[in-house]
Structure 1
């Protein structure tokens, strides 16, 4: 009986404080792991095109400038999905949006198999990207909310590793599949994996406690108590009354105002600039490296090996960032990583023609750029409140992807003009330097977010 009385006096703030101050339970670890599996799928679905591109270009007779649009198709979809679909998670919930986005990915991957031309290929890649973009930022928020304060930056950095892991898996699968069965085989594999992920998420992915407490959807108390029981926390007898105006219940206007008003506005702009320029450089390298090296060397396996090496470096980068984040501030690690990445691009451009050295530098390049992405994923949730967290992260990723769409396209035109490929890497060191400067400004001032950095 005493426990019941104590339960009735605990408010959302006290419960969320318990979640964030206690050691992570098995349920929390499983939830983060499920999110990791989902982002591995995202990396696989995007990585497919980079490895299939050389054969698609040959079979469809696509020029380098048009191939740039094909490679950017999913990036454009990801940008639109992050900006316009992710905010729906703050309104309708993290779980339903994730399921809807997975269904969209299944549809896009399946339709890609039917593409008769570059135009249709671009259209279906945009559709796939919509699902990926709408899901990634949403899951980023979910991981942040289910992680303890002590392990949040580390958990998100490990979560971020899922993307290069997925792209690396795509590379390893592409090596035997594409030469033997053609590029369509990769999209068949991607469709099957997306269906399996949808089924797994339906049965295993929980709703966010922050969302349930903040929005109070139908059955919120029962859903909260189910989650608390799985986390070995005492359930509630009732949900304390909160004042939520009708406007906040039915629109995302207030969440957008949150991220675009002082003191958060300056930090939001820094996130947008820093992340956008980083992912522009990242997607240039990850979409074009296999094709560039294949065209320069005449050996498709060499381009494939370089792509795999860069993605393996990306996996290591996320885990290195995660390990360092256990001792150092994520914001300090972020700007240092970005300045180092700019140096790696300069070196890569200078040693491009020395293939063994270029492969090693490409690996380091993957370590640093993906480590930087992990850093932005880790820092962004600490800037926004629970009410606007998915929106804030979604807009950061969406704006970044929208800018990054131009990178493969611009590179396509540069290469079509006859420019030396190594020059492009030198050019992209500049946006990385600016990205580092933007990340440096995140050290000055914090918002009123409830999550600790």
Structure 2
């Protein structure tokens, strides 16, 4: 009886500390896996356009500068979704937002099939991007919250691998599908996968334990105990009383204050700058490489092969980062990876015309840039408390993608002006170096977030 009483009076902090100090249960592993599959879908839906772009450009007669806008459509939507939709998860829950964003993805993908012009392609890619952007940062927070302290950085790095996995799958499917059935076939496949994901998430995705204990929505105790039972943690007889001060009250004002006030402000700015410049370089390479190589070589399959190689490298990069994070600090790894990525871009520009060597360097380029993205995903949750975590991560991803929107567009104008494609890779080494300097700032300070840094 005494043990039961002691268990029943545990506070939210004690419960979460117990969950995070224990070995990850089967339920936690399944939850992280579901989130991984969701982000695989995101990578597939975004990656589709890169592989379909050469045929779209030919059939619709789109110039390189306009194609840049088409390629950036989903990135713009992702930025807006991350900034304005992800914070809703801190108020209404991780699960409801994920289901709403998946519905938005289904709508955007299905309507893309009806697009008669480049303008409508851009519109429906923005709609799809809104769903992807609103979901990715939210799931990142969910993975962080369901992972143990010991395995959190590794789990998030593996989660980050989902995006390049999805883009790689898109490339493998595009090779036989587009030549035989046209670019519309890829979006039919994407719509079907999004519907399946929506049904799967509705049936299997749990709510965040942090959210239930912090916000106390309807049936919170029942839902908390159901989750605790699945993690082999003793249930609660009642949620402990709490005194809510004006400062502690979870509100939009206080969430913004945490993200944008000292001592967190300096780290927030470093996250925004570093991540923005990294993803600008990443999305330039991943959206333009297939089209650039197709146009230069006249061989569409070569462009697709190069795109697949870079994305396969990205998958490996996430898993390498995850493995190294077991022994080394995620912040140190991030700093080193960013400067190595800058070197890879320089080398790629130098060997661009030597196709076999360029393919190998492109693979390494994918390893390093996606590994660095995994690093930002792993570091960001350690900076914010649970009440501001989805907002903090969402703003980092949103600001980053808002900046990255310009990358494919700028490259389109550069190429339309007659610039040599290999020179563009040399230019993008500079923002990667600056991102490395921003990562150095993250090494110099930590905040009192509830997750280990």
Q: What is the TM-score normalised by the length of structure 2?
A: 0.99
Residues 154-193 of structure 1, C-alpha deviation per residue, up to 9 Å, x if partnerless? 0000000000000000000000000000000000000000
Contact 1:276 1:403 in 2 (8 A): yes
Matched, 1:123 2:123: yes
Whole-angstrom distance in 2 between the partners of 1:127 and 1:232: 41
Alpha-carbon shift at residue 99 of structure 1 (Å): 0.3
Partner of 1:391: 391
Query: What SS is found at the alignment partner of 2:451?
Result: coil
Partner of 2:161: 161
Query: What SS is found at the alignment partner of 1:262?
Result: coil
Matched, 1:221 2:213: no
Query: What SS is found at the alignment partner of 1:244?
Result: coil
- Residues 260 and 293 of structure 1, relative CA distance in 2, 3 Å threshold: same
Question: Which deviates further from its counterpart, 280-289 or 442-451?
Answer: 442-451
Residues 368-422 of structure 1, C-alpha deviation per residue, up to 9 Å, x if partnerless? 0000000000000000000100000000000000000000000000000000000
Whole-angstrom distance in 2 between the partners of 1:181 and 1:328: 47
Contact 1:157 1:374 in 2 (8 A): yes
Whole-angstrom distance in 1 between the partners of 2:132 and 2:237: 38
**Aligned pairs for 1:7-406 within 5 A:** 7-244=7-244, 251-406=251-406
Whole-angstrom distance in 2 between the partners of 1:244 and 1:313: 48
Whole-angstrom distance in 2 between the partners of 1:200 and 1:82: 22
Consecutive unaligned residues in structure 2, runs of 5 or more: none
Count of residues in correspondence between the two structures? 453
Whole-angstrom distance in 1 between the partners of 2:108 and 2:59: 21
Whole-angstrom distance in 2 between the partners of 1:15 and 1:248: 19
Contact 2:215 2:250 in 1 (8 A): no
Consecutive unaligned residues in structure 1, runs of 5 or more: none
Contact 1:164 1:311 in 2 (8 A): yes
Alpha-carbon shift at residue 242 of structure 1 (Å): 2.0
Alpha-carbon shift at residue 2 of structure 1 (Å): 2.9
Whole-angstrom distance in 1 between the partners of 2:245 and 2:84: 23
Aligned CA-pair RMSD: 1.0
Alpha-carbon shift at residue 424 of structure 1 (Å): 0.2
Residues 287-333 of structure 1, C-alpha deviation per residue, up to 9 Å, x if partnerless? 00000000000000000000000000000000000000000000000
